[in-house]
Amino acid sequence: MSLPTYCTPAERVAYYSYRIFCGAVLFFLIMPILIIVPLSFNAEPYFSFTEGMLTLQPEAFSLRWYEDMVNNPQWVNALKNSVIIATCSTVIATILGTLAALGLSRHNMPLRNLVMAVLISPMIVPVIIAAAGMYFFYTKLGLAQTFWGVILAHAALGTPFVVITVTATLSGFDHSLTRAAANMGASPSLAFFKVTMPLIRPGVISGGLFSFGTSFDEVVVVMFITNVEQRTVPRQMWSGIREQISPTILAVATLLIFFSVLLLITLEILRRRNARMRGIRE
């Protein structure tokens, strides 16, 4: 996008200075992540670039760490646990968060702001405090060091994301549509699944994806309430850094980066679809 011809020299300097500053901030944020990707293909067991990598010698690059990840039972078991825990917690968080957002969307709900503050408190309270509280609470219930304990803990952490995204979607929802469905004889459940749900589905899916990403990336709560059998990918990475440093961690991190990029692309597609449904053109 070129500047208009009537811009003054000062405005041009400010414009390009702003773009340079934004580029520098982006470079500062992205480079530590992008460095991991080429390092994961290092043929040597080092966490740094070798001379062969810097000169782009083919023998300096290898897939040995990806093969080690696939052939290592600990990493395979951690990946399986992460997928199971993240999927189950996402289902629970999506259901609870959507129901909560529907209730919060009603203007006649008593103590609406207080309930909203309580629901999003897991996002505000430091994770270490939430993890300690969950440990003592789940120990009393016998849920500590169980799959269901981890699933419920991750569902509690992911529910605020669903509440926020669905509430934002419902802010522009036309409630006269549900009243019209009720006037035509539709039951509340039928009106929800036929009228409300199709319109808020992008927000529900976005919240579910945020919840899934939060669960898949969580490590503090897992360290408090799990044992070896429920070890997830982040916990396995943490243990690998402390016990035996191996570039396999970089290979796993690269796959997680790829997964995060896919998640962001999906969220952007859902955001644009939601904007088109509301008649907003970008």
| Distances, alpha carbon 52 to alpha carbons 34, 44, 146, 278, in Å | 19, 10, 46, 54
Question: DSSP labels for 235-281?
Answer: HHHHHHHHH---THHHHHHHHHHHHHHHHHHHHHHHHHHHHHHTT--
Q: Where are the domains of the chain?
A: 73-245
Contact 264, 189 (CB under 8 A): no
What percent of the chain stands above pLDDT 90?
11
Question: Quick one: which of 185, 187, 168, 191 has its CA closest to 267?
Answer: 168
Q: What is the 3-state secondary structure (H, E, C) of 142-194?
A: CCCCCHHHHHHHHHHHHHHHHHHHHHHHHCCCCCHHHHHHHHCCCCHHHHHHH
Each residue of 133-156: pLDDT tens digit?
888 888 888 888 888 889 999 999
Question: Domain 73-245, what architecture?
Answer: Orthogonal Bundle (1.10)
Question: Quick one: which of 217, 207, 230, 211 has its CA closest to 257?
Answer: 217
Contact 263, 208 (CB under 8 A): no
Determine the Cα–Cα distance for residues 269 and 275; give it in Å rounded to an integer. 10
Residue 42 pLDDT exceeds 70: yes
Quick one: tokens of 71? 């052939």
Determine the Cα–Cα distance for residues 38 and 71; give it in Å rounded to an integer. 21
pLDDT the model gives residue 45: 80
Determine the average pLDDT of the residues in 195-219: 85
Determine the Cα–Cα distance for residues 131 and 144; give it in Å rounded to an integer. 11
Contact 72, 185 (CB under 8 A): no
34 band by pLDDT with thresholds 50, 70 and 90 = confident
Residue 42: φ, ψ to 5°: -70, 130
Determine the average pLDDT of the residues in 195-215: 85
pLDDT the model gives residue 278: 60
Count the neighbouring beta carbons within 10 Å of the beta carbon of residue 243.
8
- 42 beta partners: 61
Residue 30 pLDDT exceeds 80: yes
Determine the Cα–Cα distance for residues 175 and 59; give it in Å rounded to an integer. 63
Contact 181, 190 (CB under 8 A): yes
Residue 275 pLDDT exceeds 70: no
Residue 61 DSSP class = B
